[in-house]
Structure 1
Amino acid sequence: MRPRIGYKKLAAVGVAAVVGVASTIALTSGSASAAPVFGYSGYSFGTGIEAGIVQHGPNVVAQFSCTTDSSAKDRNDLATANVNNQAIAQTVTTDTHAFNDAKGNGVTSNATAADIKVGNLLHLVGAKTTTTSVYKNGQLSYTGNTTFAAVKIAGVVVPSLVKPSPNFKVAIPGLGYIVLNRVGGVKTSAGIYSYAQAVVLHANVKNKYIPEGVDVAVLKTRAEITKPATAMVMGDAYGSTVQVDKLVKSGKTSYQATCQGTEGKTIKNSIAGIEIPKVASVGAIYTTKNGYMGAEKSAVNFTSHIAGVRVGSLRVGAIESSASAWKTKDGKVGIHSSSSVASIQVGNKTYQVATGPNAVLDIPGVAKLTFNQVVRQSRYVSVNALVIDVYSLNTKVVLGHSAAGVIG
């Protein structure tokens, strides 16, 4: 059994740490005449919040991200997966693995639970969900499905839901509604990703199990495979994360990631802002991603933008960051990052914004500020425009994260 991983929301990449600079990524060096590569990514988890604000992220996580290793795999298990201090799923196992065999090149992700319960409102027995994405003979395809051994709603057995049709919606008195066997796939010019979820719980009435307005995914899986290309692009961006002690108070806002690029289109993800009671107020946030994979060149760019932030007595002006990476057919590689912070103020006093990589400003009794926090490798770069360590709150706030890299 492995410990829980506290993210607010997982996407296909997940190469960055929950807070702070992205984890070190080992990228293959390749050569000028390197053969085209496939990209593999997958994850599965027990429970996780999809909408609403609750101090909980996906747990019982098995994942690997943006790799060219066809033997990549991960597995996890946990006796109980909780949401809002409620034992929602029991005896949970998750696994995800890549393959390159007679079936083709692909990824399969699985998740199972002996029981999924919401008090006496809902009881799902023997739940299993799985999804697979495959590239074979020049074609992309996917499969996904969920089955149950038994289904009870308000104590009544419902045999017709043991093998539910895709995206089947059911009303649950006292909770709201659920969607069983949520499945789908998205095909692009660069590859395909598929997803499957055993059940999504939508709490739209007041109840003692899940806060009203919160959506919870139980047994969620994702599988992704790219077509062969010069290099696989990777990266992510988000506006902010906030951690108090060991508790994630706010996950990655306006999060975006990729292992395939965007077919050269700029995709924007924005929110009006967030309030973290007694900790921070973050203004309007948006992130962008743009990337492509091809026979001649692969490239990717991420950006992050925040209107402003208030943490206690500390006020921060507009924050921005960007990261990009590219590789050409002849083996040339480039990476670049940048970040900026408009202003720093405490009360009526204005502080000079430090420049240069990993520059530090210490404001006694208030916070330590790290500007332009960068991790660079030969084919990967990650930047946090600003990291605030608040002394009195034992809090870390990461702002303006962008990362980009190429593999192959």
Structure 2
Amino acid sequence: MLWFVLPVVSRLHKGLCDLYSGSPHVAAAATTVALAPVTSATAAEPVFGYQGNAFGSSVVVAGVVTSAPTAVVTYGCGTPAGFSRTQTTAGVNVPPSVLRTNTITVTGNTSASPTESKTTATAQNVNVLGGLVTANAVTAASTARNGAGGYSTSAAGTSLVGLKVSGLPILVSPAPNTRINLPGIGYVVLNEQTTRITPNSAGLRVSAIRAVVTQANLFGYDVGTTVIVAQAAAAVNAPTAGFLGGFAYGTAAQLGNVLSSSPSFRIDMPCAGTNGVVRERNGAGVDVPNLLDSGTIRNTVQGVANSTSARGQATSTVETVSLLNGVVEATGVRSVANASRSGGSTSLGSEGTTFASITVNGQPLVVADIEPNTQINLAGIGTLHLRRTFTTATSIEVRAIEIVVLQAGNPLGLPVGTTVQVAVAKAIAR
């Protein structure tokens, strides 16, 4: 039910959002993960699902996080009524004059009477894109509630004080989703709101300011630069037998301690499910030099939660992928994660995870022989994991392909700790 800033480096999208050679001899070892149901002592009494996510600011430049979300407050289903949290920071300064603020304050609260989830984010003395957008103070406020009239949302409390755009004062409070062009640069959206209300849930995301650079310009701001100031999201869901969670994304790569490509086209499972509808996020592919080059990516989540059970599935499918300049190549890469809960018992599975084909140093592997948690040594480089699977009492995560660089002085010159992931899916039922 929440929507986050999730930047990726991709051919389809530049600039959230929310994740990301060796011997010809191939030696493989495999172990099998038991995926039997895990039973808790007692079934929890159904309660409302409260969710919230808010932050003061974030900056993404050309798909890479330049300034991560600040003063973050986040909570998910299972958070009790009466939760209260506040985060503050002295401010941010992102050169070259991309964003500057003074004090940032972010809050999150839940209550049982009324049944309500509320978040706020406030930033003082805001200056965006060298003064093209300024304000004395901006606040985003989001409330989701359930009452006598059913589920509803409110952005009451959202404000932009002393707002100026291109040097001109905005004397009236901007209506939701007010868009103003920034000549020669791009545009800014003020009081941006996204609402979702169903018979069993309500959710609202509010961004006080979202500025986007769409044109090459004399100021030197990269096309695709996205600046968000004061974002607040809140949601509340009807009581169910269990809460769902999880996500799916196509690729992710981390070069040493530097984020090279965050999770691509990531999609998250709402804690109340999707009412059985498949939600998807697709992309044309991702290209990170020396690390990965992928074809079309399709990520999905689907879930149902009601008074008797909760069932969810996450999938990620990558049409083609070449890793480490061709050391590993694969087609039809697909991860599937399933989780369900009923009567206090949680069942997990990864049925459907597969490869159409995969080669390592030019040698094809027998797809049918690839068990969960297969490991292959990449001589002089590190370890190739296939169908890498992590389980807890309530969750399962499947990474169809993951490479971890362990050898210094490797032929590709990659730092130790570099990781590449392809087709990742996680499902949670609790």
TM-score, normalised by the number of residues in structure 2: 0.81
Which segment is superposed worse, 396-405 or 137-146? 137-146
- Residues of 2 paired with 1:67 and 1:327: CA distance? 14
Contact 1:89 1:113 in 2 (8 A): no
Shift of 1:195: 0.5
Shift of 1:130: 0.9
- Residues of 1 paired with 2:186 and 2:39: CA distance? 48
- Residues of 1 paired with 2:339 and 2:348: CA distance? 4
Q: Deviations over 1:174-219 (max 9, x none)?
A: 4222110011310124312111001111212223363223433222
| Equivalent residue number for residue 90 of structure 2 | 79
- Residues of 2 paired with 1:309 and 1:183: CA distance? 36
Aligned residues: 385
| Equivalent residue number for residue 193 of structure 2 | 183
Shift of the 74–86 alpha-carbon distance from structure 1 to 2, 3 Å rule, reads farther
- Residues of 1 paired with 2:116 and 2:364: CA distance? 54
Shift of the 74–308 alpha-carbon distance from structure 1 to 2, 3 Å rule, reads farther
3-state secondary structure, aligned to 1:128: strand
3-state secondary structure, aligned to 1:160: coil
The answer for unaligned runs of 5 or more in structure 1 is 12-17, 20-26
Q: Deviations over 1:213-236 (max 9, x none)?
A: 343322211111111111121111
Which segment is superposed worse, 57-66 or 296-305? 57-66
Shift of 1:271: 0.7
| Equivalent residue number for residue 370 of structure 2 | 355
Q: Deviations over 1:299-324 (max 9, x none)?
A: 11111111122222323213211111
- Residues of 1 paired with 2:142 and 2:310: CA distance? 27
Shift of the 259–96 alpha-carbon distance from structure 1 to 2, 3 Å rule, reads farther
| Equivalent residue number for residue 319 of structure 2 | 307
Q: In the alignment, does 2:189 pair up with 1:166?
A: no
| Equivalent residue number for residue 339 of structure 2 | 325
Shift of the 278–357 alpha-carbon distance from structure 1 to 2, 3 Å rule, reads closer
- Residue identity over aligned pairs, in percent, reads 24
Pairing 1:1-400 to 2, within 5 Å after superposition: 9-11=16-18, 29=40, 31-32=42-43, 34-48=44-58, 53-56=63-66, 58-60=68-70, 61-81=72-92, 86-102=97-113, 104-117=114-127, 118-137=129-148, 139-145=150-156, 146-156=158-168, 158-161=169-172, 163-207=173-217, 208=219, 210-257=221-268, 258-311=270-323, 312-317=325-330, 318-328=332-342, 330-338=343-351, 339-350=353-364, 355-390=370-405, 391=407, 392-394=413-415, 395-400=418-423
Shift of the 72–323 alpha-carbon distance from structure 1 to 2, 3 Å rule, reads farther
TM-score, normalised by the number of residues in structure 1: 0.85
Higher strand share: 1
Contact 1:200 1:216 in 2 (8 A): yes
* Among candidates 389, 395, 401, match of residue 424 of structure 2: 401
Larger radius of gyration: 2
Higher relative contact order (CA 8 A, sep 6+): 2
Q: Deviations over 1:242-293 (max 9, x none)?
A: 1111222111112111222111111222111011234321221101111111
Which segment is superposed worse, 86-95 or 130-139? 86-95
| Equivalent residue number for residue 34 of structure 2 | none
Contact 2:90 2:102 in 1 (8 A): yes
CA RMSD, Structure 1 to Structure 2 (Å): 2.8
- Residues of 2 paired with 1:176 and 1:142: CA distance? 30
3-state secondary structure, aligned to 1:66: coil
- Residues of 2 paired with 1:174 and 1:45: CA distance? 29
Contact 1:46 1:218 in 2 (8 A): yes
